[in-house]
Amino acid sequence: MKKAVLLSFALFLILFSLYKLLHVNYKSIFYSDSINIEKTPIDNSAISDINQNLDTINKYCHYYCISPKIIMGIVIAERSLHKGPANYFEEYYVKTEFLSKSESYLKQLVEVTKQKLENMKMARESDQEFGFRLKHGLIWTIGLCQISIMKSIEIDSAIAKSENCPVKTVKENIGSLLTPSLNIKYCAFEIKEIQEKYIRETGLDISNNIGVLCTLYNTGRINESIARYKQTNIYPRANLFGKFAEIKMDTLLSILKLNPPEAKKEGYR
C-alpha cells in the first residue's frame, strides 16, 4: 500500500513537471535571460554569413531605405544569443517534413494555425509556451534572420501588394526563408514597415536606433510599443537582444573592415 502511494505521488510529480514545462516560455528553457552580453562574443558563423551576404544586405537596405546595421544586428544577436538545439531542430524539421507536404495540406495548416493564434490572443495567452510551439511548427523561426513561416506569409502578402507582384505559395515562402538572399529581403521589408509605422503613428523616427529596431523585430510587439509611447511619452527601450546588437556593432564593423569613408557611403555610420 505504501509503495503504491509513493508511486502515485512520483507519477503526480512527473506529470506536474511536464505540465509546467509545457506552459513556460520556450525561450527560458533554451536561452538564459541572465547572459552577460558584454562578455558574450559575436558568433563566428554570423560574421561569416554577413560577409558572404553583404552585397545582398546593402542591396535591400538601399531599396527599402533602412540602415544595413539593423539587419547585421539582427543576425549577430540571433546567432550569438539564440544558438541552441531548438534552432537546429526547427530548421531540420521544416526542411524534412514541411517541404515534403502538399500545398493543400500546408494551406490548411496555415488556416488552422491562424485560428489557434487568434484564440490564444483572445484568451490573452502566449504563443511562446513550449507546449504550443511544439505542436505548431509554422510559428517556428528559420533562416538567416529567423523569420517564422506565418510571418513570412504576412510579409510576402504585403510585398505583393506594395510591389504589384504575385503572392507566393506556402511552400515557396518556406523556400524563400531557407534562401539567405530572400530571407534578407523579407527582413529588410519588415524593418521598413516597423520604422514607417512608428513615425506615422507617433512622429518618432527610430530608423537609426539599432537597439530599438532590433528589439521590435525580435518581439513583434510594435503596436504595444507605440501605445506605450503615446501614453507615457517615454522613448522605447531595447531589450537584451537589441542591446547586444547595439553594443557589438562597432566591433562587427571593425571585423568586417567597414570603416569610413566606405562605411559612411553605405550607411554604416
Spell out the residues 6+ positions from residue 74 whose beta carbon is closer than 8 angstroms to its own.
145, 146, 187, 214, 217, 218, 245
Residue in the structure block whose three cell numbers are 514541411: 98
**CATH 2.60.98 matches 37-266:** no
- CA 194, CA 201: separation in Å to the nearest integer? 11
- Mean pLDDT of the region 243-247: 97
Separation of first and last alpha carbons in the chain? 74
| Partners of 147 in beta bridges | 142
Q: Residue 256 pLDDT > 90, yes or no?
A: yes
- Strand pairing class (141-142; 147-148): antiparallel
Each domain of the chain, given as residue ranges in start order, spans: 37-266
* DSSP code, position 210: H
Helices 240-247 and 210-219, axial angle in degrees (round to 10): 140
- Prediction pTM value: 0.83
pLDDT in tens, 155-207: 999 999 999 999 999 999 999 999 999 999 999 999 999 999 999 999 999 99
Q: Does an H or E element contain 148, and which?
A: strand 147-148
- CA 142, CA 144: separation in Å to the nearest integer? 7
